Each structure stands twice: as C-alpha cells, then as structure tokens.
Amino acid sequence: MEQTKFERFSLKPFIIEAITKELKFFEPTEIQERLIPSILRGESAIGQSQTGTGKTHAYLLPLINQVDTDRQEVQVVITAPTRELASQIYNEVGKLIAFSSDNISAKLFIGGTDKQRTIEKLKTQPQIVVGTPGRINDLVKENALVINRVRSFVVDEADMILDMGFIKDVDMVAGQMPDQLQILVFSATIPEKLKPFLKKYLANPKFTHVAPKQATAAKIEHILVPVRHRDKKQLVHDMLKNFNPFLAIVFTNTKKNADELADALIEKGLKVGRIHGDLSPRDRKKMMKQINDLEFQYVVATDLAARGIDIKGISHVLNYEIPTNDLEFYIHRVGRTARAGSSGIAVTLYETSDEDALNKLEKQGIEFINKDFVGEEWRDIDDRKRRQNRKRVTDEVDALAKSIVQKPKKVKPGYKKKMGREMEQIKKRKRRLNKKQK
C-alpha cells in the first residue's frame, strides 16, 4: 500500500485503506490538517471555507473513525441544505464504510421519498444519518429516528441552510440531542443571522477559517460583456450558440428570471434544462439525471445549483445578472467550471448600475477581460473604467478653469465669450501638461 500523510492522524486501518485505495488522497488539505485532530478529540468546531477545500472529508474521516460498532444506535447526524448535497455526502460515507469489516450502518433521509416506508425501515437504527433538515426533523417528531444518544452533529453549508429557511428544523433536531454533544458547523460565510444558533449550541468551539489562496480557479477566463440596452435573452442565445459548449450553465438571480430565460431559449431552438427551487422533488431528480446523462448542452439555474449541486463537465458559466444579495455567489457560480485543473470560461453581462459590485469583485483579485459580442463575433473593447477616467479628468480640468477665470465685477458686452476663450486656453494647457506627465 502506498504511504499517505494521513497516517499521522492515527486513524483506523480501514480508514487509511479507504483513503489510499478509494479516495486516493495522499496529503491533507489545509482544513483537514487543522480540523481532523480536534474532531478526533471530540471538540466542537466551526469551519469557514469555500467549496473545493476538502471540508467534507475533514469531518467524515474522524467521525467515521470514532463510530462505536458495538452500539447499534444513531451516533452521527449530518445535515445538508439540499437533497443533492445530502446524497453526495452519503455517497462519500459509503466509500469509507465499505472498507470496514465491522459493518458500519448509514442511512440517507431526504424529501421526495416515501416517509412511511422510511419509518418502517427504521426498526433498526443506523449508526450514521445523513439527510436534509426537514426530513430528519419529521422522523424525529414521529419517534422513528432516535437521536437522544447522538455523539456528533454536523451542520454542513450552514449559511445556505439559513437562506433556505431550514435553520428552525436544525434547531429542533439539535434540541433533541444530548447536552454533551460535539457540534461541527461548516459554512462558506458566517452571516449575522446564523450567530444566535452558534451561540446557543457552541460554548467554546474551535474556529477555523481557510481563506482561498485565490478567489477562483486559476484557469478561469472572466469575461465582462456590456448589455448596452440590447435584448439580453437574444444576446445570451447568440453567445451560447457561438460557444457551442460541452455544457454551459446560465445563472439568474430569481426563479422567475430562470423560467423566462429558459422559455425564451427553448423558443429559439435550444434544448435547455432548468434547476431552481420550484421544481418538484421528482422533476429535480429527473432533471439532474438528464443533465448528468448529457441530454442538455445548456442549463439555466438559480444559485441553488451554485452551492447545492455538483454537475460535472461544465465548460462555460454565464451570469445573466450579477448576484445582488451576496457577491460570494459569483465565486460559487464560476467555481462550477475549471474543476480538477481543467480550464473554463465565465461570462458576465453587466449594466452601468453593476459598477460597485464589479469593483468589489476586482478587489478580491478577479481580473476581468473586457469584450463585446457583435455580429456573431467577439471583439476586444476598452476597459469599462477608461471612459470613467476620461470623464473624471475632463471634470477636473473644467473645475480648474472655472476656478481661475472669474466673472469681472463690472461686466461689459461680450464678457461671456472672453471668459470662454480664457477657459479654453487654460484647459488646453492643462491637457498638454497631463499628456506630458503620462
């Protein structure tokens, strides 16, 4: 067996075997390095990190390592905001416990499945539970899921759980657990509204913030395209046709805009999938299968897909509009492409009202390329700030000229023309001086 640097954590042999043979991890990520030892000691923790930092295994490895196989009762509960994300975590649990000779049991509980059949299957309690907050809470209220002896509770993507209105379910589930409970909260951001929950359940947690070395993947090309009073839906259609992507995902800020854009693109002859919160569980499951089976070349989605769903093979991301509530979603959106070292393109349509948001993204280290799409071809255009800078310099020169040329106390006929000529001469001299300084 190949050597792995995870051996220094003193994990059980079957975990090390799973890491090397199945996961093929040889070196811990920063968040794994910092959190695995404290989780093994039973400490509570808050981990703040973005997607792709390895946080799922930062808690799965030590928690599965600590499962007492002699106790056939719920010991670990992991909750995630979406069915898709919960399913992904459950699949990772399955990869690890498959290497254990002691038959560790795990169950997935999500909406969109038959609750009564689930309850019937709970005559034997699993040792690890993964699921969505609403479904787990329902099963606890029905006394089908017994969690009064749980040792560890994970709240993954906590800010998204808050945004989607599930924090009350999480609170009710946590309230049924023992006082001596290890709580692990993972979140890309720590919003103010999340802090009361953290304060209620975590006395002295270890706080670990893993800042990304760069805001987005190195191989993403960020392209800015001005809307300029054009038909945005037509512009998106034309760009998508030009890209002819392996798979492109177009992000909107609202479900209404997602539906309107998807309908418009379908009318123009494109085969388009859509993902947003109004799809029924059955439709969402069907849509995800179709996307993963490559039935669609184009997908229109809300930010649910940026954080809660893993779609492989996205070559292009197009922002129909810049996220208004939380700019962090720009990072999550474009992070859907250029994964595992591949390259990707992220195109953002912008209006003049988006200037503040673009400036903030640039301060995070994102370098935009200014382009336009005209007549079925891409054209390089001036940086959007060049015109603003030119206008600012003009304003400064005008202000200087007005401050020097004063209205005479006694006015004579033609004094306005004379003042105008003097001001023009001052402006010309100032412009020449500016050019020399450049």
60 and 158 share a domain? Answer: yes
- Cα dihedral 345, 250, 326, 92 in deg (nearest 10): -80
168 and 259 share a domain? Answer: no
234 and 271 share a domain? Answer: yes
Please report, as a single letter, which amino acid is at residue 111: G
Which of the listed residues 209, 230, 245 is the one where a domain comes to its end? 209
257 and 283 share a domain? Answer: yes
Among the listed residues 218, 381, 239, 261, the one whose alpha carbon sits nearest the alpha carbon of residue 316: 239
Which of the listed residues 338, 363, 381 is the one where a domain comes to its end? 381
Strands 128-131 vs 368-374: parallel, antiparallel or unpaired: unpaired
415 and 332 share a domain? Answer: no
Contacts of residue 73, Cβ cutoff 8 Å, sequence gap at least 6: 125, 127, 146, 149
Say which residue the tokens 């673009």 belong to: 358
Among the listed residues 61, 251, 222, the one whose alpha carbon sits nearest the alpha carbon of residue 152: 61
Contact of 384 with 390, CB cutoff 8 Å: no
User: Would you mind telling me the total number of residues written for the chain in this entry?
Assistant: 438
For 380, other C-beta atoms within 10 Å of its C-beta total 8
- Mutual orientation of helices 255-267 and 232-243 as an angle, nearest 10°? 60
For 70, other C-beta atoms within 10 Å of its C-beta total 6
- Cα dihedral 18, 22, 23, 26 in deg (nearest 10): 70
pLDDT for residue 258: 93
CB-based burial, 271-306: b 16+ in 10 Å, e otherwise: ebbbbbeebeeeebbebbeebeeeebbbbbbbbbbb
CA 358 – CA 397 distance, rounded (Å): 27
Which of the listed residues 209, 235, 266 is the one where a domain comes to its end? 209
240 and 201 share a domain? Answer: no
- Residue 215 located in a structural domain: no
Question: Quick check: pTM over 0.85?
Answer: no
244 and 305 share a domain? Answer: yes
pLDDT along the chain (438 residues), means of 10: 76 93 88 93 87 85 95 96 89 95 93 83 93 95 94 92 88 93 88 85 80 57 91 95 91 92 95 85 83 90 70 87 80 71 81 89 86 90 67 52 58 66 72 63
DSSP for 380-422, please give it.
E---HHHHHHHHHHHHHHHHHHHHHSPPPSS--TTHHHHHHHH
CA 255 – CA 253 distance, rounded (Å): 7
- Residue 214 located in a structural domain: no
Task: Determine phi and psi for 43, rounding to 5 degrees.
Answer: -80, 150
CATH code for the domain in which residue 124 is found: 3.40.50.300
Contact of 249 with 301, CB cutoff 8 Å: yes
297 and 413 share a domain? Answer: no
Give 253's DSSP letter. Answer: S
365 and 411 share a domain? Answer: no
Contact of 427 with 401, CB cutoff 8 Å: yes
DSSP for 343-372, please give it.
-EEEEEEE-GGGHHHHHHHHHTT--EEEEE
Q: Bridge-partner residues for 345, per DSSP?
A: 221, 316
Contacts of residue 165, Cβ cutoff 8 Å, sequence gap at least 6: none
Q: How many domains does the chain have?
A: 3
Contact of 360 with 327, CB cutoff 8 Å: yes
Contacts of residue 179, Cβ cutoff 8 Å, sequence gap at least 6: none
Percent of the residues in the chain that have a pLDDT greater than 70, as a whole number: 83
**Structure tokens belonging to residue 336:** 């859907």
In this predicted model, what pLDDT tens digit does every residue of 296-333 receive, in sequence order? 999 999 886 656 666 778 889 999 999 876 777 788 78
CA 314 – CA 303 distance, rounded (Å): 15
pLDDT for residue 398: 59
83 and 154 share a domain? Answer: yes
**Structure tokens belonging to residue 361:** 């993204």
CA 287 – CA 278 distance, rounded (Å): 13
pLDDT for residue 4: 72
89 and 151 share a domain? Answer: yes
CA 413 – CA 263 distance, rounded (Å): 66
115 and 197 share a domain? Answer: yes
CA angle centred on 26, ends 24 and 31, rounded to 5°? 105
What range defines the domain where residue 416 resides? 386-437
DSSP for 54-107, please give it.
SHHHHHHHHHHHT--TT--S--EEEE-SSHHHHHHHHHHHHHHHTT-TT---EE
**Structure tokens belonging to residue 121:** 């299957």
